[in-house]
Amino acid sequence: MKRILFFFLIVFALTACDNNNSEQTLNNGIAPPAVLNYTVVKVYPHNPSSFTEGLEWHDSTLYESTGEYGESKLLRVDLKTGKSLQQINLAKEFFGEGITVINGKLYQLTYQTGKCFVYDFKTFKKISEFDYEGEGWGMTNDGKHLIMDSGNNNLLFRDPETFKIVNTVGVIDNNGPLAKINELEYVDGFLYANIWETNYIVKIDPNSGHVIAKADLSNLINQYVPETIETAQTKGAWLEGIAYDSVGKRFFITGKLWPKLFEVKFN
């Protein structure tokens, strides 16, 4: 009887160890993201025909990159009215994507054509362009490097002068690699990113790639732009666009084809 009991105790202990190891493997040793709460401070109009792909606040001005073939644009936008103050149209073969401003230059990715256009951010005069492999999705910078993504879980750090990759960081949360990282914004040493085809914005440690906090903007959408839910599947009108005013300490959030742009405070 003691031998039988001892056998079952051994089996139970091994099973428990396997379960613990499986759980540890699933969670990758990473704690679940904290809840990133937010408050809507102010609501502004946004052009509902703009298929937003990139949003940037620089030098007290809002910049926007829009997508769709034959309709892609680079815009300087009046925050209060949502109207375009200056714009250039991309050639019909290019689908505009993420943008960022660094060293007086505005960089704009394209979706599947492997081109990054570089402009003078004040005049929108094209200065140069770079070629790259893979897709272009979101882009930001940390003051030294361009940081872009390609729709997977990798963050690519690039030299702004050569566009060469100098570092790659994989984004991961407690469930594993986090794919579909999209629009990016670098704020006070952290990256904020929306996740494509979701209502989530995540806060990422760019050194480790760990997701440390997560905001669910479903309530914002349901309260202010419920019509977006109906068009999301047919027109791809998802949450997209994060900009940060480092002087006013303000986040700006919008989405593809959304009629509103939101000033948000993350708590």
Q: With cut-offs at 50, 70 and 90, classify the pLDDT of residue 81.
A: very high
What are the sequence ranges of the domains in the chain? Answer: 1-30, 33-266
* Residue 116 C-beta-side C-alpha neighbours within 13 Å: 32
Q: Residues 84-99: what's their mean pLDDT?
A: 96
For 162-189, the pLDDT digits (tens) are 999 999 999 999 999 999 999 999 999 9
pLDDT at 107 over 60: yes
Alpha-carbon gap, residue 194 to 166, rounded angstroms: 24
pLDDT tens-digit map of 151-165? 899 999 999 999 999
Q: What pLDDT shows up at residue 76?
A: 96
Percent of the chain with pLDDT over 70: 87
Instruction: State the amino acid at position 21 in one-letter form.
Output: N
- The pLDDT of residue 9 is above 60: no
More confident residue, 32 or 5: 32
Please, what is the Cα angle at 210 between 139 and 177, to 5 degrees?
80
Q: Which has more confidence, 17 or 203?
A: 203
Pick the CATH number of 33-266 from 3.30.70.2190, 3.40.50.2300, 2.130.10.10, 3.50.40.10: 2.130.10.10
The alpha carbon of 15 is separated from its chain's Cα centroid by a whole number of angstroms, namely 41
Q: What is the largest CA-CA distance in the chain?
A: 87
Please compute the mean of the pLDDT values over residues 36-62 and round it to a whole number.
95
User: For a pLDDT cut of 90, what percent of the chain falls above it?
Assistant: 79
Closest CA relative to residue 260, chosen from 38, 41, 47, 39: 47
Mean pLDDT of the chain: 88
Residues 6+ apart with CB under 8 A from 76: 61, 62, 63, 84, 85, 86, 87, 124
Sheet holding 154-158, edge to edge: 139-141, 146-149, 154-158, 165-170
pTM for the model stands at: 0.87
Helix H or strand E segment including 25: helix 2-27
Look at residue 27 and tell me whether its pLDDT is greater than 80: no
